[in-house]
Each structure stands twice: as structure tokens, then as C-alpha cells.
Amino acid sequence: MAREKRISVLSVLTIFLPIMAVSSCVTPLAGKLAALAAGQSTGIVAVNGALVVRAGDRWLLRYRYEGVPYKPYVQELFTPGGVNILRDAPADHLHHHALMFAVAVEGVNFWEEQQQPGRQRHLSFAHYVKAGDGNNPEAAGFDEQLEWVNPRTDEVLATELRRILVCRMKEQNATVLKWVGKLSPPAGKDSITLTGSPYFGLGMRFLESMDTGGQFHSSTGQTGVENTNDKRAKWCAYVAKADGKAVTVAIFDYPDNVRHPATWFTMEKPFAYLSATLALHKEPLKITAGEPLVLRYGVALWDGRVSPEQIEKAYSRWVDWSR
């Protein structure tokens, strides 16, 4: 951690779009555990090269950024009951890192980790905890600066400012994550072009026990892979059993995202996978220096099987929280 260069809270907040009008504080990681022990219910601690967001004595999220050769990612994400639903680097696809975001930039593949793949290089964190108020849930998270690098030349192809926030939405009885990325051409470059395969985007690999017996469904009312894969919707959900316990997982697409509603990649054989995409396999996306790409996604987790109406309520609540 000593090699990291911190970025100021003011610089982070001016770069991003307006976020919750609630109090926030930035403290060194060493102080996070003490803050939790002093009674702060939500906070961040460093654990073995990862950041862990906790609510009381329970983990909500584990974000791994050290010891990863190609990209940082959410390694574990927990339901309110404490069930992790993510699987990292399974033997069949070592590059499936739990919950991750990757596309191709200027022809360099940042998804598959073979044949000199691109690298999302971690630069720094600005750590903070956000307190809730009457309108917003208590949440904790961080901002991260990254460079997307061509491994052949060490050229920076893109820069990213990433924000991860996670909370326990008590009224929805759900764990809800907010993932915001601001992708820009590097200094001195006018534009970059994003391309990719049908699954490139914000992708999620589930526990092995969730690979069979599950079902996808979307905000359009459609169910099954045949009716959700390569189809557009504002959210897509998957219901399955995680080590014998029923869980529901949904990814949300923000209304202001480019190409909203998202095009979804869903599959259930030989394993289950869910990805929110920009349909880059159909049409590349050009990003200019004057108009960086800002993407907002949400991920919601419930214990048990929840109805589409419950997911829709959580989606609306997440949109309000994300404004």
C-alpha cells in the first residue's frame, strides 16, 4: 500500500457526476477497523491485498486489487444472510474473475487473459465512508484510479475512475452494489474505440452450485436464456441455489447509460453467466476526450426467491440512490 498515491476527495467529487448529498469522511485504512470497533456500522478494512466493506461484523463485499496480474475485481459479494454468490478463476475459464468489467480498447483484449491481454493497472484509492440519511441508505465504498495498458508497448490506452459503493437496503432486504466507471482517452489522445465479444461488459460468474437448476428473467417479463440472451432490458436477474440456499441476483442498467436499456448476455450451459453489455459485437463505441464514457450499474442480492415486482422496486430505489 505504501506505493499508492492518494487522490483528494475534492478532485474525486468534481470528476464524478453529483452523488448523494450526505456526509463523508476519508481516513487511512489503518483507522477503518478502529472506526468499526468504535461503533460505526459500515466501513472499509484492508485484508490481504483486498478492500473489504463490512456492515457490523458481516462482510458485504471483497474487492481484490493486489496480486492480480490483469484487473481488479469484486471477488466476493454477500447476500444479507451472508451467502457469497461469486466464483473466481474457475479451472474452465481462469479469466472469469467473479464480478468484473472488461472490454477491448483499440483492439486490445482486456477480457480473456491469454495472448498478451490488456491490463487494468491500479494506481490509487481514495477511501471514504458515507453515512446515510432519511433518503439514502448507509453505504461504504471507494474510488479507484486505473490505467488500461497495452502489454506489448506499455502504452496507456485509456484511463478510468471507478467508484464502488455497497449498502444493505433494509427496506428491500437486499445487498445493493453501485458500480460507476468513467472511461476516457489518455492525455494527448483525441479518441479511443471500444469493441468486443457478445459477453464483454460487466460480467458475473456464479458459484458452481448455481450453475444448474437456475432461471434467468428480465424486466420485460421474459424468462429463460432463449428469451433473455442478446435481448435488451433495464434489468436482468438470475435465481438459483447457492450451496443449497435459494438466492436471487440482479444487475441493473442506469437509464442514462449509453445504449440503455442494456443488451444482456445470459447462459446456463455448461455454466451460468450473466453480463450487462453495450452490444459492442454489433457496433463499436467511440469515446472522445471531450465526452468520456460514464457507466452506472447496480447489482442486487437477496436471500431466497423474490418476485419481479420486488426487483422492480429495488431497481427504482437504486436509480434514485444513483442520481
Instruction: Give the mean pLDDT of 157-167.
Output: 96
> How many CA atoms does the CB half-sphere of 223 hold within 13 Å?
5
DSSP type of residue 69: S
Instruction: Give the mean pLDDT of 245-273.
Output: 98
Note the pLDDT of residue 126. Answer: 80
SS3 string, 89-142, reads CCCCCCCCECEEEECEECCEECCCCCCCCCEEEEEEEEEEEECCCCCCCCEEEE
| pLDDT greater than 80 at residue 32 | no
Q: What is the overall mean pLDDT for the chain? A: 87
Instruction: Give the mean pLDDT of 12-35.
Output: 34
Note the pLDDT of residue 131. Answer: 62
Q: Band the pLDDT of 10: cuts 50, 70, 90.
A: very low
Q: State pLDDT tens for residues 174-190.
A: 999 999 999 999 999 99
| pLDDT greater than 70 at residue 254 | yes
Window from 169-173, 220-224, 301-305 with minimum mean pLDDT: 169-173
Highest mean pLDDT among 17-31, 38-52, 221-235: 221-235
DSSP type of residue 77: E
Q: Which domains does the chain have, with CATH numbers?
A: 9-322 (2.70.98)
Q: Which residues are bridge partners to 78 per DSSP?
A: 84
- Residue bearing cell 428469451: 227
Note the pLDDT of residue 8. Answer: 31
Window from 11-15, 44-48, 152-156, 228-232 with minimum mean pLDDT: 11-15
Note the pLDDT of residue 119. Answer: 97
Instruction: Give the mean pLDDT of 245-257.
Output: 98
Note the pLDDT of residue 127. Answer: 66
Instruction: Give the mean pLDDT of 249-256.
Output: 98
Q: Band the pLDDT of 278: cuts 50, 70, 90.
A: very high
DSSP type of residue 31: H
SS3 227: helix
Note the pLDDT of residue 2. Answer: 33
Q: Could you please report the per-residue DSSP string of 234-295?
A: SEEEEEEEETTEEEEEEEEE-TTSTTSSEEEEEE-SSS-EEEEE--TTTS-EEEETTB-EEE
Task: Answer yes or no: pTM beyond 0.85.
Answer: yes
One-letter amino acid at 91 equals A
Q: Band the pLDDT of 129: cuts 50, 70, 90.
A: low
> How many CA atoms does the CB half-sphere of 305 hold within 13 Å?
9
Window from 24-38, 73-87, 263-277 with minimum mean pLDDT: 24-38
> Where does residue 52 rank: exposed (0-12), middle (13-18), buried (19+ CB within 10 A)?
buried
